[in-house]
Amino acid sequence: MYASSLLSAIGNTPLVKLPFKSPATILAKLEYLNPGGSMKDRSALYMVEQAEKRGDLKPGGTIIDASSGNHGIALAMIGAAKGYRVVISVSQKCSKEKYQTLLAYGAEVLVCPPTDFIEHPDSYHSQAKALLAKTPNSFMPNQYFNIENAHGHYHLLGTEIWKQTEGKITHFFAGTGTGGTVSGAGRYLKEQNPDVKVYGIDAATSFHATNGNPKPYKIEGLGIDFDSDVIDYSVINELINITDPEALDMLKVLAHQYGFLVGPTTGAVAAAVQKKLSEFKEGDLVVAIFGDSGRAYLSKNFYSEPVDQITLSPRIIDQSNQTL
């Protein structure tokens, strides 16, 4: 058996038991095993294919977007596989690995100065829009403002989790940046069973978490920093705010003790699951999105501290279950 193309290999990622001490079954959805390395493969593919169907993107066209992260990488991969030119604008804050990954897929990269607001004419978002206006046959998926971002996760991720768990999922945890993952997959799951609890994980000092007084944080890709239609608060039971140290401590535990080498948003998601452990009961089935791999962040030295310096309480991890 084989996939007929690279893009048809997106999805069908494994659900793996997490050895946290709990009467519930806690499963990690290993989205970092997608071909482009994150769950953004799903939403990016959906947005591109909808644009093709509408005729907004035709053969020989150019995909342009602003992204310092996995969305841009997914577009670069999809463009390479489908034969489109791809131009991604990034902020100077973009990690070296991500910048080099975009170039490795053959995308052109426009590096822009960091700005406080995306409306600023120099921002990577404004520069992508300016380039779009002067490039014929070009399409901007625009993940922060395109509701199809959430629709992609509704159709491709929500359905898959429902099938994989045979409809038994009771709790769903996903990192929240644009809100596409938690809103899209969360909405599908809630439509199947309104009792499913949906948790969005936000950065503790994001625009939303601080009521408009954000402070810088290290967890790349997480944090509700814009008001947009992509995020549907009506499907989210609770937004859990996670600090940098909570996410980064958990990252080391996952890598050093359990072999999950994951990115900082996943550290935040697992830290949120940890905070909720006391609420889970026998028979609950928890699914947490493990969105990308730690390999994209090695230059940030998040993983190098010895594990015995980690302050996390051993009580939350079931040491006896390490082989599960």
Q: Given the rule CB under 6 A, which residues bind ligand PMP?
A: 38, 40, 69-70, 175-181, 221-222, 263, 265, 291-292
CB of 102 to ligand PMP, least distance (A): 14
- If the CB atoms of residues 162 and 290 are measured against ligand PMP, the closer one turns out to be 290
User: Closest CB to ligand PMP belongs to which residue?
Assistant: 291
Q: Residue 292: phi, psi to the nearest 5? A: -150, 175
- If the CB atoms of residues 135 and 210 are measured against ligand PMP, the closer one turns out to be 210
- If the CB atoms of residues 182 and 253 are measured against ligand PMP, the closer one turns out to be 182
Contact 97, 75 (CB under 8 A): no
* Residue tagged active-site, from 17, 21, 29, 40: 40
CB of 269 to ligand PMP, least distance (A): 8
CB of 93 to ligand PMP, least distance (A): 13
- If the CB atoms of residues 13 and 61 are measured against ligand PMP, the closer one turns out to be 13
- If the CB atoms of residues 139 and 173 are measured against ligand PMP, the closer one turns out to be 173
CB of 221 to ligand PMP, least distance (A): 3
CB of 319 to ligand PMP, least distance (A): 28
- Catalytic-residue membership of 40: yes
Would you please indicate which residues are annotated as catalytic (active-site) residues?
Answer: 40
